[in-house]
């Protein structure tokens, strides 16, 4: 049984890493997938081709979702192609790490714009289509850093914590409209980014994780698929960590 049959899903930052696996998993569950990318055109096109070969309806859209006009372009393209929008997964994000005392204002702003303002823009426009359809699933990808903080990532932590507060507010606004909004906070996930860590860094990271290992993108995407489905119709305003127990209180 496919839990997302006939559902139209938009995934931002879908060309690589966790976003790519989210797109694949939503497609495997029967969803039509709109693949958003900013700069990774070849990777996005390759993913689109892969989905098409599997018989999945898909659309690849270039949009810098940190810009309101581009975010609108993405949502408009999805609705124009599929006549509706059921699921929005806000996954796009960047880092510009640095200690607070020497952090450049432009690095602060770039992270806030890409990680947090983009979520506001896409949700603002997608919610209109969801309200017309009387159905919606908004799933925002935050981070354990948004729960715990991290030295050298004040901008990233602020953006990811902001997503949590934003999502709870959206969940309250739409709770009676059959539109849910939830947050996923991944911890250390095995992606190209974490593969750049040296052995000492990996060991230090795993020492903080009760399960003593990194997660996989599939660990995140399976939860996305559940929250996107009718199975999670009574789940809203929740923040769920996928981190092997790292952020456990």
Q: Which residues pair with 241 in a beta bridge?
A: 185
Reply yes or no on whether 156 is catalytic: yes
Categorise residue 244: left if φ over 0, alpha if ψ from -120 to 50, beta otherwise.
left
Token code pair at residue 136:
């919606």
Token code pair at residue 68:
């309101």
Q: Which of 37, 156, 226, 234 is catalytic?
A: 156
Q: How far is CA 191 from the centre of its chain?
A: 15
Q: Do 54 and 27 form a contact (C-beta atoms < 8 A)?
A: yes
Phi and psi (nearest 5°) for 144? Answer: -60, -25
Other CB atoms within a 10 A radius of the CB of residue 67 amount to 16
- Residues with Cβ within 8 Å of residue 183, at least 6 apart in sequence: 139, 140, 141, 142, 163, 164, 167, 238, 239, 240
Q: Which residues are catalytic?
A: 156
């Amino acid at each position: 049984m496919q839990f997302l049959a006939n559902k139209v899903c938009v995934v931002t930052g879908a060309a690589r890493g966790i976003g790519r696996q989210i797109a694949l998993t939503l497609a495997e569950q029967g969803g039509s997938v709109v693949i958003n990318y900013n700069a990774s055109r070849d990777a996005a096109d390759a993913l689109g081709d892969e989905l098409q070969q599997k018989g999945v309806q898909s659309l690849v859209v270039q949009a810098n979702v940190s810009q309101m006009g581009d975010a609108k372009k993405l949502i408009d393209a999805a609705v124009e192609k599929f006549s509706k929008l059921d699921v929005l997964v806000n996954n796009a994000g960047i880092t510009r790490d640095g200690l607070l005392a020497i952090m450049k204002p432009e690095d602060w702003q770039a992270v806030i714009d890409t990680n947090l303002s983009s979520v506001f823009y896409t949700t603002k426009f997608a919610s209109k289509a969801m309200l017309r359809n009387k159905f919606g699933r908004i799933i925002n990808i935050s981070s354990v850093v948004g729960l715990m903080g991290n030295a050298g990532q004040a901008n990233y932590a602020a953006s990811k914590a902001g997503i949590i507060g934003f999502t709870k507010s959206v969940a309250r606004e739409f709770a009676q409209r059959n539109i849910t909004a939830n947050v996923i906070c991944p911890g250390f996930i095995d992606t190209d980014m974490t593969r750049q860590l040296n052995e000492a860094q990996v060991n230090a990271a795993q020492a903080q994780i009760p399960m003593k290992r990194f997660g996989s993108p599939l660990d995140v995407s399976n939860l996305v698929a559940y929250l996107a489905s009718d199975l999670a119709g009574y789940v809203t305003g929740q923040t769920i960590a996928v981190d092997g127990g790292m952020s456990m209180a």
